[in-house]
Structure 1
Amino acid sequence: MAKIAFILLCHKDPESIIRQAQRLTATGDYIAIHFDGNAKQAFFDRLQEKLADNPNVVFTPRRIKCGWGEWSLVEATLLAVESAVKAFPRATHFYMLSGDCMSIKSASYAHDFLDKDDRDYIESFDFFKSDWIKTGMKGDRLHYRHWFNERKHKFLFYASVNIQRRLGLHRKVPQDLQMMIGSQWWCLRRRTVEWILDFCRARPDVLRFFQTTWIPDETFFQTLVPHLVPQDEISTRTLTFLMFTDYGMPVTFYNDHYDLLLSQDYLFARKISPGALELKKRLGELYAEDSAEFSLSNEGSSLFRFLVGRGRIGRRFAPRFWETEATLGRERELLIVVCKKWHVAKRLLAQIRAVTGLPCIEYLFDEETTPLPDLGGIQGSIEKRTRHRRALMRMLFDYYNTDRMVVCLDPNNLDLMRDFFSDRSTTKLLEVQCDFSDEYLLGHAKRVGLAGERTSAETLTSLLPTIRADVVFESDQIRDAGFEGIFRVKEASTADENAARLADFLGVDRQAALKITTNEYLFVD
């Protein structure tokens, strides 16, 4: 069975570290602790005093003064790894943690998970080709030597880089290494960490290179593991659940995130709020519970993006710019059906097509699989269709040899509606307003990835009001846009009432419109 040696780097809150060490070792696992050399000696003395009698705890022989982005973090990690390898010969896996991490599964679940596949878990992406680095310095992290800490000595940091750039002191990476990058939270097998330690002893040139790179804790292990281990024995992922805000800051978890954390396909989570005492207590008790069962839905990241996005009315920094000079054609008429219930809109379009003979295209900007003719590749993906929306519509008008056409849009495509209404062509919009049961909204959440089949009832209940409010918000946005030529049919209205509005929208007589709206299955879920 797997035996885990946790590699813990910490610098504060000794009482929390003591509880964490006691909890993790109580189930038979081990922990190697590096306590930052910048922290108070009294804190370190407290740790040693409380954990001295625990045979499954070891401290590094030296305390490195660590700084964010510096080699010191890797040096401290290597010290802790080496201490764990020597002290715990039965350890099969080495799991990197911080003082802000906590387990979100039981120990037995974690052991079974690691026993299931003989592999290393570490994010490892090509440094130069991947988009793992979103902003800031990229190649310069490696190509220039960094002796100063960017956070503590910003002027010296950038002055040093600029001087090296002017003097042409651009250096190459070690030729036999493919530089990789990823999260610093990894879980490696014993054989892998022993190979890494052997490599460090055999290749001081590589250590010297990384000692003057910037943020090496995101590149050192991530580069060495795929260099030393066959690719089919590496899972390019972390087992620690973490999310980042749009500002690059880690998302912090609180007491009410318990169910959300348990449903994620990870063993630990970062970072837990210091004040989330109830959450820490419940997760601590869970780790020792052998009989605990877990239903994984893994909706955490998509749910976070959804909830954060609701408060942002201005979702784009500037108006769309592509194809503003293009037009669908002054003599053409685009009829847009907007409906949140896609199956209702599709039934309506089928009826319109049968009665009027107009070309009708379903959710072409929302569904990749919408049937479309071959238009030279522009129809190949939703991204291409959206980017070249006016060119796409012109080609569809030409393909069907018509000046009138009906398309479906989801209510969240307000930018598309604005773009089409700003065109010199005639544009009309029919909003189909449906009734939404709780059951339908929960099904919608699952279809779009906000929830999974195993998402807890408590999470679904808390999510429901937000989804309903979002549907109302999208409808209000359409109303507030001030479009001319907008019509509405409602599920609550009679077929006759809806026929009157539909006739005006389509420009057909009342009898033809009534044939469309008398479909008794139109609004059925």
Structure 2
Amino acid sequence: MAKIAFILLCHKDPDAIIKQAQSLTAVGDYISIHFDARARPEAYKRVRDGLAENPNVCFAHKRIKCGWGEWSLVEATIYAVQSAVEAFPRATHFYMLSGDCMAIKSAEYAHEFLDRRDCDYVESFDYFKSDWIKTGWKEERLIYRHWFNERTQKRRFYAMFELQKRLGLTREIPRDIEVMIGSQWWCLRRRTIEWILDFIRDRPDVMRFFATTWIPDETFFQTLVRHLVPENEIENRTLTFLMFSDYGMPVVFYNDHYDLLLSQDFLFARKISPEATELRRRLGVLYSSQGARFQISNEGRSLFKFLTGKGRIGRRFAPRFWETESSLGREREMLIVVCKKWHVAKRLLERIRQMTNIPCIEYLFNEESCPLPDLGGIQSTMGKRHRHRRALMRMLFDYYESDRLVVCMDPANLDLLEDFGRDRSVTRMLEVECQFSDAYLIGHAMRVGLAGDRTPYETIQRLLPTVRNDMIHESDRIRDANFEFHSRMREIDPPEVNARAVAEFLTVPEATAQEIVQLDHLFAD
């Protein structure tokens, strides 16, 4: 049976640290604590006194002052690991934590999870070939020496960097080391930890190298594990659930995230807000619970991306020059059917094809598989269709030898609608407003990756109002744009009302429009 020694680096909130340690050790696991030497002495004393009677707690044999991006974070981790190895001979796994982390599974579940496979869990990607570093320095982190903290000694940090760069004072990476990078939140077996400690004693050259790299907590353990452990014994992932915003800041979890956190395929989560007292209480109780069952759906990251995306209107910074300087043509009419239920819009287009001679194209900006003629490759990918939208539409007008063209678009494509609405051609829009049942919304959430077959019913129920409001918001944005020719066709309206909207949209006789809308199953799901 797995027994975990948690390696905890912390620097504040002694009462929360005491509670965290008591919760994790209550079921027989261990914890080794490094409390930052920068912290107030009375805070450290409070932690020591509060945990003095707990035999499953030890403290790093040496405390140092830690700084973001510095070697000190790795050094503090090593001190805590060394103390844990000596104090807890029965520990089978060593799990890296911070004071902001909390368990999102029970100890029973965590132990069974670790017993299933004899491996190390650590993110470990090739430093130079992977895209783990999205922006900023890459090679510079390694080939130059960094003695100062970038946040607290910015002028010295960059002055030394510029001096080395100007004088060409680069250095080589140790020849037998392939540098890897990944999250600092790892879980390693005892044998791996012992190998790492032996390596630290035997290879002072590697230690000197990493001691002056920048942000070594993302490379040191990740590199050594790959160097020492067979690849088939490494699971390239972290067991700690964490997310980052578009600005590189960690996402913080609050009281209402309890169910979402439990459904993720991870053992711990970071960061739990200090103000989320109810969440902290419930998670603290959870770790020592017996018989808890967890329904893993793992929709956390896709849900976060969906929700945060609603706060931004997806406009480009500036129009492309070939779009601003070109037009579909003053004499042409682009007729756009806007509908969230694609199958409804496609049925309506089929009726328009049958009753008129206007060429109709379905969701060409939403579906890669939308049938299109060969236009020299501009239609071949979704990216090209969006980038060269006006050129594509001009070619389609020419291909069909028509001055009128009907296309379908999703309400989320407001940037496209506004772009075509500004064109010198005539742009008419028919918004088809459908009713959305819970069953449809659940299916939509699954299609876009917000939910899956294993998503708990309670999670889906919490998600439905968000999805429904998002669709209402899309319709409101279209109305707020004040398009010149904007008609609405609604599922709840009688056929004669919808016929008038279609007649206005297509500029056809109302009798023709009535035949188009008189389809019994037009709105059926």
Does TM, scored on the shorter chain, surpass 0.5?
yes
**1:157, CA displacement in angstroms?**
1.0
Q: Percent identity?
A: 68
Show the counterpart of 1:143. 143
Aligned residue for 1:471? 471
Give distance in 2, aligned partners of 1:366 and 1:121.
38
Q: Flag the 1:120–1:356 CA change in 2: closer, same or farther, 3 A.
A: farther
- In structure 1, what is the Cα distance between the partners aligned to 2:403 and 2:172? 61
Q: Are the aligned partners of 1:322 and 1:387 in contact in 2 as well (CA < 8 Å)?
A: no
Q: In structure 2, what is the Cα distance between the partners aligned to 1:364 and 1:189?
A: 52
Check 1:126–1:321 CA distance in 2 against 1; reply closer, same or farther (3 A cut): farther
Mapped partners of 1:55, 1:402: distance in 2:
83
- Residues in 2 aligned to 1:187 and 1:375: alpha-carbon distance in whole angstroms: 53
**RMSD of equivalent CA atoms:** 2.4
Could you list the per-position Cα deviations for residues 486-519 of structure 1 after superposition, in whole angstroms to 9, with x for gaps in the alignment? 2221112222222232133224333332222111
SS at match of 1:320: coil
- Superposition map of 1:449-464 within 5 A: 449-464=449-464
- Indicate how the Cα distance of structure 1 residues 239 and 508 shifts in structure 2: closer, same or farther if over 3 A, else same: same
> Tell me, what secondary structure is at the counterpart of 1:7?
strand
Measure, in 1, the Cα distance between the counterparts of 2:182 and 2:499: 58
1:24 Cα offset (Å): 1.3
For the residues of structure 1 that align with 2:187 and 2:396, how far apart are their CA atoms?
52
- Do structure 1's residue 8 and structure 2's residue 8 form an aligned pair? yes
Residues 296 and 455, structure 1, Cα contact 8 Å, conserved in 2: yes
Instruction: Name the CA distance, whole Å, in 1 between partners of 2:373 and 2:176.
Output: 49
Match of 1:171 in 2: 171
Distance 1:369 1:188 in 2: 45
2:377 and 2:236 map into 1 onto residues whose CA distance is 33
Separation in 2 of the partners of 1:393 and 1:222? 50
| Pairing of 1:12-411 with structure 2 (within 5 A) | 12-312=12-312, 314-316=313-315, 318-321=317-320, 323-324=322-323, 325-411=325-411
Aligned length: 524
Report what 1:433 is aligned to.
433
Q: Distance in 2 between matches of 1:502 and 1:68?
A: 62
5+ residue gaps, structure 2, are none
Instruction: Report the CA distance between 1:477 and its aligned residue.
Output: 1.6
CA gap 1:170/1:400 in 2 versus in 1, 3 angstroms: farther
**What is the aligned partner in structure 1 of residue 504 from structure 2?**
504
Distance 1:179 1:384, change over 3 A: farther
CA contact (8 A) 1:8 1:97 kept: yes
Identify the range of structure 1 (446-455 vs 264-273) with the bigger mean alpha-carbon deviation: 446-455
Q: Contact between 1:345 and 1:408, CA under 8 Å: does it hold in 2?
A: yes
For the 8 Å contact 2:314–2:415, the answer to whether it is kept is no
User: What per-residue deviation string (whole Å, max 9, x for no partner) do you get for residues 229-269 of structure 1?
Assistant: 33333222211111222332222212121111111111101
Deviates more, 1:210-219 or 1:344-353: 344-353
Unaligned runs of 5+ in 1: none
Judging changes above 3 Å, is the alpha-carbon distance between structure 1 residues 63 and 304 closer, same or farther for their aligned structure 2 residues?
same
Between stretches 458-467 and 269-278, larger displacement belongs to: 458-467
- The alignment partner of 1:323 has SS state of helix
Whole-Å Cα distance in 1 between the matches of residues 93 and 521 of structure 2?
Answer: 58
Structure-2 separation of matches of 1:170 and 1:118: 40
Shift of 1:221: 1.6
Taking a change above 3 Å as real, the CA distance of residues 350 and 263 of structure 1, as seen in their structure-2 partners, is same
Partner of 1:419: 419
Work out the CA distance in 1 between the residues paired with 2:402 and 2:174.
Answer: 62
CA–CA distance in structure 1, aligned partners of residues 397 and 119 of structure 2: 54
Structure 1 residues 240 and 515: alpha-carbon distance in aligned structure 2, compared to 1, 3 A threshold? same
Q: Which amino acid aligns with 2:48?
A: Q
Larger CA deviation: 261-270 vs 221-230: 221-230
What secondary structure sits across from 2:322 in the alignment?
coil
Which amino acid is 1:140 matched to? E
How far did 1:336 drift? 1.2
Query: Matches of 2:198 and 2:322 in 1, distance apart?
Result: 58
* In 1, Cα distance between equivalents of 2:482 and 2:193: 63
SS at match of 2:334: strand
- State the distance in 2 between where 1:158 and 1:264 align: 40
Q: 1:254 to 1:96 in 2, by over 3 A?
A: same
Residue 293 of structure 1: CA displacement?
A: 0.8
Query: How far is 1:276 from its partner?
Result: 1.8
- The alpha carbon displacement at 1:164 in A equals 1.3
- Distance change in 2, residues 1:322/1:217 (3 Å): farther
How far apart, CA to CA, are the structure 1 residues paired with 2:120 and 2:384?
Answer: 38
Q: Is the 8 A contact 1:18 1:51 kept in 2?
A: yes
Partner amino acid, structure 2, of 1:54: N
1:459 Cα deviation from its structure 2 partner:
4.1
Q: Deviations over 1:452-479 (max 9, x none)?
A: 4444455444444333332222112212
Q: Alpha-carbon deviation of 1:61?
A: 1.1
Secondary structure at the counterpart of residue 8 of structure 1: strand
**CA 130–330 in structure 1, closer or farther in 2 if over 3 Å, else same:** farther
Write the distance in 1 (CA, Å) between the matches of 2:380 and 2:228.
Answer: 40
Deviations for 1:47-102, whole angstroms, at most 9, x for unmatched residues? 33333343322222111211111001001111222222233333222111001110
Query: Residues 126, 359 of structure 1: CA spacing in aligned structure 2 closer, same or farther, 3 A cutoff?
Result: farther
* Secondary structure in structure 1 of the residue aligned to 2:34: strand
**Structure 1 position 404, deviation (Å):** 3.3
Q: Could you tell me how far apart the structure 1 residues matched to 2:391 and 2:204 are? A: 58
**In 2, Cα distance between the equivalents of 1:45 and 1:114?**
34
Say if 1:228 and 1:507 are closer, same or farther in 2 by CA, change over 3 A.
Answer: farther
Look up the equivalent residue of 1:191 and give its one-letter code.
Answer: R
Would the aligned equivalents of 1:322 and 1:388 in 2 still touch at CA under 8 Å?
no
Deviates more, 1:353-362 or 1:425-434: 353-362
Q: Deviations over 1:419-470 (max 9, x none)?
A: 2223343322111111233443343233322334444455444444333332
